[in-house]
Structure 1
Amino acid sequence: MALLPLESNPEVMNKFLHLLGVPNKWNIVDVYGLEQDDLAYITKPVLALILLCPNSEQFNKHAEEESVKLKEEGQIITPDLFFVKQSVPNVCGTIALIHSVANNSEKLGIEGPFKHLLEKTKDLTPEKRGELLFSCEDGESFNLMSVHQELAQEGQSEVNPNEPANNHFIALIEKDGHLYELNGSKEFPVNHGPTTEDTFLEDAANVCRQFISRNAEDVNFTVMALTAAEN
Structure 2
Amino acid sequence: MSVESDAGVFTYLLDNLGVKDVQFEELLTLEPESLASLYPVYGVIFLFKYPTDTPYTSTDKPLDGDFDRDAAEHLFFAAQTIQNACGTQALLSVLMNKEGEIDIGEKLREFKEFTMVLPPEFRGEALSNSELIRDVHNSFAKSSPFVDETQRSGGEPEDAFHFVAYAPVDGKLYELDGLQPAPISHGACAPEDFPARVMEVLQRRIARYDLSEIRFNLMAMVRDLRIRAREIGDAEMLAREERKRRDWQFENALRRHNFVGFAGAVLKGVTESKLREGDGAYAKWIEEATARTSHRIDTKKKGGGGDDVEMEG
Give the counterpart of 1:123 among 117, 124, 140: 117
Structure 1 residue 136, shift from structure 2 partner: 3.0
Q: Closer, same or farther in 2 for the Cα pair 1:209/1:112, shift >3 Å?
A: same
The counterpart of 1:210, out of the listed 196, 201, 204, is 204
Residues 66-85 of structure 1 show CA distances to partners (whole Å, capped at 9, x for unaligned) of x4236xx8647444111010
Query: Mapping of 1:55-134 within 5 angstroms?
Result: 55-57=50-52, 60-61=54-55, 63-64=57-58, 67-69=59-61, 75=68, 77-78=70-71, 79-134=73-128
Contact 2:171 2:190 (C-alpha < 8 Å) held by counterparts: yes
Tell whether 2:41 aligns with 1:30: no
- By percentage of residues, which structure has more strand? 1
Query: Which residue matches 2:41?
Result: 46
User: Structure 2 length normalisation: TM-score?
Assistant: 0.62
Which residue in 1 is equivalent to 2:224? 229
- Alpha-carbon shift at residue 62 of structure 1 (Å): 5.4
Residues 5 and 93 in structure 1, CA contact (< 8 A), matched pair in contact too: yes
Counterpart of 1:8 (choices 2, 5, 8) is 5
Aligned position for 2:299:
none
- Return 5+ residue gaps in structure 1 as ranges: 138-142
Q: Hey, what does 1:145 align to over in structure 2?
A: 134
Q: Deviations over 1:75-100 (max 9, x none)?
A: 47444111010111000001001101
Please say if residues 28 and 224 of structure 1, whose CA atoms lie closer than 8 Å, have aligned partners that are also in contact.
yes
Distance 1:165 1:114, change over 3 A: farther
Query: Which residue matches 1:179?
Result: 173
Deviations 1:198-220 (A, max 9, x none): 01122111111111111133111
- The 8 Å contact of residues 47 and 217 in structure 2, kept in 1 or not, is answered as yes
Distance in structure 1 (CA, Å) of the matches to 2:207 and 2:7: 24
Contact 2:173 2:186 in 1 (8 A): yes
| 2:215 corresponds to | 220
The 2-side partners of 1:210 and 1:30 are apart by 20
In our comparison, the structure showing a higher alpha carbon Rg is: 2
CA contact (8 A) 2:33 2:195 kept: no
- Indicate how the Cα distance of structure 1 residues 14 and 87 shifts in structure 2: closer, same or farther if over 3 A, else same: same
Q: Distance in 2 between matches of 1:178 and 1:22?
A: 24
Please state whether the residue corresponding to 1:206 is helix, strand or coil: helix
Question: How far 1:114 sits from its partner (Å)?
Answer: 2.1
What corresponds to 1:140 in structure 2? Answer: none
CA distance in 1, matches of 2:147, 2:94: 25
CA RMSD of aligned residues (A): 2.5
Q: Counterpart amino acid of 1:44?
A: Y
| Aligned amino acid, residue 68 of structure 1 | D
What amino acid maps onto 2:140 in structure 1? L
| Kept after mapping to 2: 8 A contact 1:76/1:191 | no
Aligned residue for 1:61, secondary structure, equals: coil
5+ unaligned residues in a row in structure 2: which ranges?
152-157, 230-313
Match of 1:169?
A: 163
Gap change, CA 1:159 and 1:61, over 3 Å in 2: farther
Q: CA–CA distance in 1 between the matches of 2:79 and 2:221?
A: 21
Structure number with higher helix proportion: 2
CA distance in 2, matches of 1:37, 1:103: 24
Percent sequence identity is 29
Closer/same/farther in 2, CA of residues 108 and 152 from structure 1, 3 Å limit: same
Q: Aligned pairs, how many?
A: 213
